[in-house]
């Protein structure tokens, strides 16, 4: 009897152990669409923490990216390797791409899946900085990236040989070919199909029970969305324009506050983007030279030559700023040409008009009286007298005596008294 009791207890324990993964655990889903950067790394790290807090079966990451930064990619991979829940990267929807950094992220997941009509690969590294890279350093970066992806693929029991070729040869393949070459684990039509295929699969040291599981989506926070949106070359170009216009706005309208405030905010955001986007230092320097030329030409009598040079420098600088082969790191002519034209028009007409207005003589107020000639209606000396100008009589004083009817040139105004002197031009006003 005791032996029977022990057998029954063992059976109940086995059933309880088998039920640990359970079908009650939800599946958390995150979406990564766009370039990989610090905001993406922060978002996925937070998603893994929330999935663990929900006691989720796994975290599914719907991925569509042309690539991104190596540092952020490494951070994401490290978070996958120490994740408290299994990770599933699903390249979707149809037409999506796990390019460059996306290839690293997909192969680092516990389960790699793709939707039909998607592709993966072209993981050749791009160096941040923009300057011409030394061939030796370029080779070192390429070898490191290839070995890094090969190690990731080997750890996940995937095709390490193809992983190396995706870096060294920028190889890219479709979903069906990726499944055939053991680059990914499955091809799923949609998320429900993916969950059906994951059910019963071993991942992250546990058996997944995903068929019919509840789905909990983890969206980006407002902060993550903002930083994800601004991490684009087009946004950086707009920020540079705001900085330039802000500088000129302060020069043409001192104390206006708004242009300067907008320029400072744009400068801070530009410094942030400069630290995460690969920029060409020469292009950035040319944009700075253009700004300096525009500012100098507003005050120097160069007859527009400096403005012309600034326009040329700005156009070349913006064209060189993101001189990259990857689509997500390029500025198209559809952005460059309008930005250059708008900048040229702004500095030629708007800023120039502001400076010209400042240089014009006063047309209203007491300052308009200085230099004009009035008529003395009675003798004027240091003790006083009166003049007639613009239909009004004014008190006047003069160090040189004037006779009635003599022309008096106004040299200063002290309260309601004019300081005058004998006019050299006797033409009456």
Q: Domain boundaries in the chain?
A: 22-225, 232-359, 366-422
Run of H or E including 410: strand 407-414
What percentage of the chain has pLDDT greater than the value 90?
34
Which pLDDT belongs to residue 252?
Answer: 67
Q: List own/partner pairs for 126-130 with CB under 8 A and 24 or more apart.
A: 126/67, 126/100, 126/278, 126/324, 126/325, 126/326, 126/329, 127/278, 128/69, 128/70, 128/277, 128/278, 129/278, 129/279, 129/281, 130/278, 130/279, 130/280, 130/281, 130/282, 130/283, 130/321, 130/322, 130/323
What mean pLDDT comes out for the span 123-140? Answer: 61
Can you tell me whether residue 420 is helix, strand or coil? strand
Which pLDDT belongs to residue 58?
Answer: 96
In 286-385, the DSSP E strands lie at 373-376
pLDDT classification of 275: cutoffs 50, 70, 90: low
pLDDT digits (tens, 9 = 90+) for 3-30: 454 444 444 444 443 444 444 689 999 9
Q: Domain 22-225 is classified in which CATH homologous superfamily? A: 2-enoyl-CoA Hydratase; Chain A, domain 1 (3.90.226.10)
Token pair belonging to 312: 């040329």
Which pLDDT belongs to residue 426?
Answer: 52
Lowest mean pLDDT among 10-24, 125-139, 144-158, 269-283: 10-24
Can you tell me whether residue 51 is helix, strand or coil? helix
pLDDT digits (tens, 9 = 90+) for 41-59: 999 999 999 999 999 999 9
Report d(CA 244, CA 396) in Å as an integer: 49
Residue 79 · residue 62 · CB < 8 Å = no
Lowest mean pLDDT among 16-30, 221-235, 351-365: 351-365
Q: List own/partner pairs for 147-151 with CB under 8 A and 24 or more apart.
A: 148/104, 149/103, 149/104, 149/107, 149/123
What percentage of the chain has pLDDT greater than the value 70?
79
What mean pLDDT comes out for the span 230-249? Answer: 80
CA-nearest of 283, 372, 265, 366 to 324 is 283
Q: Give the max Cα distance, the chain.
A: 142
What mean pLDDT comes out for the span 130-136? Answer: 57
pLDDT classification of 277: cutoffs 50, 70, 90: low
What mean pLDDT comes out for the span 211-221? Answer: 93
Can you tell me whether residue 373 is helix, strand or coil? strand
Please, what CATH class does the domain formed by 366-422 belong to? mainly beta
């Amino acid at each position: 009897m005791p032996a029977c009791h022990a057998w029954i207890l063992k059976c109940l324990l086995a059933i309880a152990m088998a039920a640990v993964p359970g079908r009650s655990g939800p599946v958390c889903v995150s979406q990564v669409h766009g370039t990989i950067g610090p905001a993406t790394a922060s978002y996925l790290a937070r998603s893994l923490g929330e999935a663990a807090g929900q006691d989720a079966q796994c975290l599914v990451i719907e991925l569509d990216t042309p690539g991104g930064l190596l540092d952020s990619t490494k951070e994401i991979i490290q978070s996958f390797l120490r994740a408290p829940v299994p990770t599933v990267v699903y390249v979707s929807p149809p037409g999506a791409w796990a390019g460059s950094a996306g290839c690293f992220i997909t192969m680092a997941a516990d389960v790699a899946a793709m939707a039909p009509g998607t592709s993966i690969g072209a993981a050749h590294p791009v160096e941040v900085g923009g300057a011409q890279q030394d061939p030796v350093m370029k080779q070192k970066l390429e070898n490191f990236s290839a070995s890094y992806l090969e190690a990731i693929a080997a750890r996940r029991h995937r095709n390490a040989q193809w992983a190396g070729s995706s870096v060294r040869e920028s190889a890219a393949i479709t979903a069906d070919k990726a499944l055939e070459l053991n680059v990914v684990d499955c091809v799923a039509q949609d998320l429900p199909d993916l969950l059906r295929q994951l059910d019963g699969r071993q991942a992250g040291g546990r058996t997944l029970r995903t068929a019919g599981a509840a789905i909990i989506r983890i969206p980006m926070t407002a902060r993550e969305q903002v930083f994800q949106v601004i991490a684009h070359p087009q946004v950086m170009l707009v920020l540079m324009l705001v900085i330039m216009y802000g500088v000129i706005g302060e020069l043409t309208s001192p104390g206006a506050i708004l242009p300067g405030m907008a320029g400072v905010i744009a400068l801070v955001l530009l410094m942030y983007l400069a630290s995460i986007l690969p920029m060409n230092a020469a292009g950035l320097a040319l944009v700075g030279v253009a700004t300096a030329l525009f500012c100098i030409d507003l005050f120097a009598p160069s007859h527009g030559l400096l403005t012309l040079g600034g326009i040329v420098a700005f156009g070349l600088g913006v064209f060189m700023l993101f001189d990259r082969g990857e689509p997500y790191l390029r500025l198209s002519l559809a952005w460059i040409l309008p930005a250059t034209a708008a900048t040229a028009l702004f500095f030629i007409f708007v800023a120039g008009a502001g400076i010209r207005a400042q240089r014009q003589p006063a047309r209203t107020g007491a300052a308009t009286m200085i230099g004009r000639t009035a008529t003395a209606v009675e003798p004027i000396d240091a003790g006083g007298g009166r003049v007639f100008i613009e239909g009004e009589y004014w008190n006047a004083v003069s160090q040189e005596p004037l006779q009635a009817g003599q022309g008096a040139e106004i040299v200063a105004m002290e309260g309601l008294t004019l300081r005058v002197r004998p006019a050299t031009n006797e033409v009456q006003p």
